[in-house]
């Protein structure tokens, strides 16, 4: 790949935090990075049609990004740095796996086209 692993992880982390903030701000009752009431998947029970539809589209992504760690943070008032560090660590692992898989796929495609 033409991008370094460190740069890929940084871009992935920034994108994941932006996605989390924007989706919670659009679908939740207030603008927050992490929900105050423990509702990690806001908008699913919304009577407003566009919120429910958007939540239905975004929930598969949110299940991967926040699903495994969401039950750990059911505390109504956790320390904010702990949430940020835990999710950053989890998302870094996801980014490294994606980077590795993408580099393998790109290398295989490159080798296939060179043989042809």
Average pLDDT, the chain: 84
Helix (H, G, I), strand (E, B) or coil at 38: coil
Using CB atoms within 10 Å of the CB of residue 73, give its burial: 0 to 12 exposed, 13 to 18 middle, 19+ buried: middle
Give the pLDDT score at 36.
67
N residues, the chain: 116
Cα(84)–Cα(90) distance, integer angstroms: 10
Beta carbons within 8 Å of 107's beta carbon, 6+ residues apart: none
Average pLDDT, integer, range 40-46: 76
Region 66-81 average pLDDT? 75
Tokens of 21: 């903030």
pTM: 0.80
pLDDT grade for 44, boundaries at 50, 70 and 90: confident
């Amino acid at each position: 790949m033409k991008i370094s692993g460190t740069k890929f992880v940084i871009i992935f982390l920034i994108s994941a935090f932006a996605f989390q903030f924007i989706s919670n701000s659009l679908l939740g009752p207030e603008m927050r990075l992490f929900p105050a009431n423990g509702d990690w998947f806001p908008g699913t029970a919304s009577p407003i049609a566009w919120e429910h539809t958007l939540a239905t589209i975004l929930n598969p992504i949110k299940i991967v990004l926040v699903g495994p760690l969401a039950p750990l943070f059911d505390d109504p008032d956790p320390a904010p740095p702990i949430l940020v560090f835990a999710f950053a660590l989890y998302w870094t692992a996801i980014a490294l796996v994606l980077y590795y898989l993408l580099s393998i796929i790109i290398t295989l495609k490159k080798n296939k086209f060179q043989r042809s």
